[in-house]
Structure 1
Amino acid sequence: MSAKFGVSCGGDLWSDDDIIAVEDLGFDSFWTGEHIVYHRPILEAITVMTRAATLTKRIKVGPATQIMSLRNPTINAKQLVSLDVMSKGRVLLTVGVGGDYPREFHACQVDIKKRGQIVQESIEIAKKYWTGERFDYDGKIFQLKDVDMLPKPVTPGGPPIWVSGRQDAPMKRAATIADGWNPYMYSAERSGWSFNRVKEFAEEAGRELPKDYTFANFIYISMFDDEKEARDWGVKELSYRYNQDFSELVDKYCAYGSNQKIIDYLAEYIKEGCNYLILAPIMPPDDRKAHLERLSQEILPELRKINPKVII
């Protein structure tokens, strides 16, 4: 089975036509970024997901990646199950602990040192809520007594949760309580290593990962025939998005250049076991549809010929 492919707007404001084009051009999902207080303009994720779900009929919608540590777990579970019901089961969720921008933890009145435990418990709580049954929960951060949540999700068990991150702690979280693993800014080789690491952590915990477990990657791509122009766009955009100089990092964390160079770059991830690619195209805002068409018609068909390496 070939890999699946999503497109991320990165939290930017896209037109209705651009969002609809993601579905019309055959992509599998539409994604958005997540920050609450940040150095650049960025829209709130669940609001963007809801808009995208309203404009489309088939594709999945999700945040890549929701900073789950900033959100109350009960309210977050309610918002997500509501969107799951309204979209007829089209919600996907990648979650992380955040921490790269401490100002937003202070703004949300969250102890940044507890972010890992908050996410751990929030995932456990969401999955309990999404059963529709009453339960108690006694965690280190959250304590709940005789709670439940209705309506039940359309998706059995609730929206799939993929854990995003770079370290052992999120890998263990992905291995033990999540439905997928989405490493963040990893090379293809490093991603393949992490996929096997997640499998090892699952085995150590006595969990057999399901056959539909997702091994994903989030990757920026800059499609311009002139390689220097493509690289320059990548440096400019990533430096803006992350508020740091990417002139030396862009070669490692961005697929750029001609069609064939991008195909070769992304193919390595699939060969390492990635079965879901979330692509973040770097492009002029007034030319998004043309870039999406090129990505759909000239890049994806070649990638769909490659079967991901079997990890499980």
Structure 2
Amino acid sequence: MANPDTGAVDPTRVIESARRAEETGYDGVYVGDHLLHPHSMLESVVTLAAVAASTRRVSLGPCVLLFALRHPLVLAKQLGTLAAFAPGRLRVGVGVGGEYPAEFDAAGVPLAHRGRRMESVLREVRSLLGGGPELADVAIEPKAPDVSFLLAGWKEASLRRAATYGDGWIGYLLAPESFARRRAFLLQCRAELGRADEGFGTGMLLPVHVHRQGHGQVSAAAAWARLTGSTGGFPDRLFVTGDPDDVVGRLRRYWEAGCSEFILAPADQGRGYLEQVDILAREVLPRLREFPVAS
């Protein structure tokens, strides 16, 4: 998270935001991950270590970590250590990436091979953390067999990968109808794998902006484009915006489509970020908790 005045990375704002989220009733806090990005970013695993030391209750994790850019042994050691400092709290979002080819070039990973590379690293990391067949007869400590891995991606190959290797799936920039179609495909894949009876959550990472009383609407799509460095443009319909009633209503559409977890990412990550955290906690989260629990 950057300082709104200078644009430089500001670690104190990250810690302040995590503490504020815990104090105001959020269930978890998550950070993005890139090695190279148009804007300054902190390394995600190291950042999460600081977050773990500054909080006590919330779950935490990357959403999502680009496994293809990491060495499996080093990553398993990092995640096992992080889980030891935050017992029962680590949840790892896993993604393929590719929107910034320069970071793959710099890491020596061919962009076209990133999916297969991600699968390979994920299998090895899970094995090392879980005590299964070890990578090249190597064993690491501490292990972390209870860490959940939530895979991202919306194309068919990514969905099949999520059904095969994931404990759950996190969608991104999908309308409720698109989310529902992909969720149905995931559950079909799980059934084909003989795993229909195993728990498998389906959630959404949703950029959100609550309009303050008496203020005009803000384009969350434009704010998100600035944040991500995207030039492709995002349709406003993929963002959860409006007054608190509007936001709750739009989130309910995802819940009715089978979304079991909301990862809410304020589109305003500048001066208004903490205000958005507070508004969501005060005027949106209590109403989300009233949604019936899926049977």
* TM-score exceeds 0.5: yes
Comparing 199-208 with 214-223, greater Cα deviation is found at 199-208
| Partner residue in 1 for 2:245 | 260
* Offset at residue 62 of structure 1 (A): 0.8
Q: Structure 1: where are the runs of 5+ without partners?
A: 1-10, 137-143
SS at match of 1:30: strand
Aligned pair partner of 1:271 in 239, 242, 256:
256
The 3 A distance-change label for structure 1 pair 283 and 107 is same
Comparing 168-177 with 28-37, greater Cα deviation is found at 168-177
| Partner residue in 2 for 1:4 | none
The 3 A distance-change label for structure 1 pair 15 and 117 is closer
| Partner residue in 2 for 1:170 | 158
Kept in 2: contact 1:12–1:42 (CA 8 A): no
The C-alpha deviation readout for 1:42-78, integer Å capped at 9, x for no partner, is 2211112111111100001111111111111111111
The 3 A distance-change label for structure 1 pair 215 and 246 is same
Q: Which amino acid aligns with 1:259?
A: P
Kept in 2: contact 1:271–1:306 (CA 8 A): no
| Partner residue in 2 for 1:98 | 97
| Partner residue in 1 for 2:186 | 198
Kept in 1: contact 2:15–2:54 (CA 8 A): yes
Kept in 2: contact 1:220–1:282 (CA 8 A): yes
Q: Structure 2: where are the runs of 5+ without partners?
A: 1-8
Alignment size in residue pairs:
286
* Mapped partners of 1:61, 1:221: distance in 2: 19
The C-alpha deviation readout for 1:53-104, integer Å capped at 9, x for no partner, is 1110000111111111111111111101110011112111111111111111
* Offset at residue 111 of structure 1 (A): 1.3
Task: Output the TM-score relative to the length of structure 2.
Answer: 0.90
SS at match of 1:57: coil
| Partner residue in 2 for 1:49 | 48
| Partner residue in 2 for 1:208 | 196
Kept in 2: contact 1:235–1:245 (CA 8 A): no
* Mapped partners of 1:280, 1:192: distance in 2: 21
| Partner residue in 1 for 2:61 | 62
Aligned pair partner of 1:240 in 226, 230, 237:
226
Kept in 1: contact 2:95–2:153 (CA 8 A): yes
| Partner residue in 2 for 1:151 | 142
| Partner residue in 2 for 1:293 | 278
* Mapped partners of 2:208, 2:114: distance in 1: 30
Kept in 2: contact 1:12–1:43 (CA 8 A): no
* Mapped partners of 1:173, 1:228: distance in 2: 43
* Mapped partners of 2:247, 2:22: distance in 1: 22
Task: Output the TM-score relative to the length of structure 1.
Answer: 0.85
The 3 A distance-change label for structure 1 pair 218 and 39 is same
* Offset at residue 246 of structure 1 (A): 6.9
Aligned pair partner of 1:161 in 149, 171, 185:
149
The 3 A distance-change label for structure 1 pair 125 and 271 is same
Aligned pair partner of 1:231 in 218, 221, 231:
218
* Mapped partners of 2:216, 2:49: distance in 1: 35
SS at match of 2:90: coil
* Offset at residue 15 of structure 1 (A): 4.5
Q: CA RMSD in A?
A: 2.1
* Mapped partners of 2:80, 2:184: distance in 1: 31
Kept in 2: contact 1:176–1:207 (CA 8 A): no
Kept in 2: contact 1:29–1:60 (CA 8 A): yes
Q: Which amino acid aligns with 2:41?
A: I
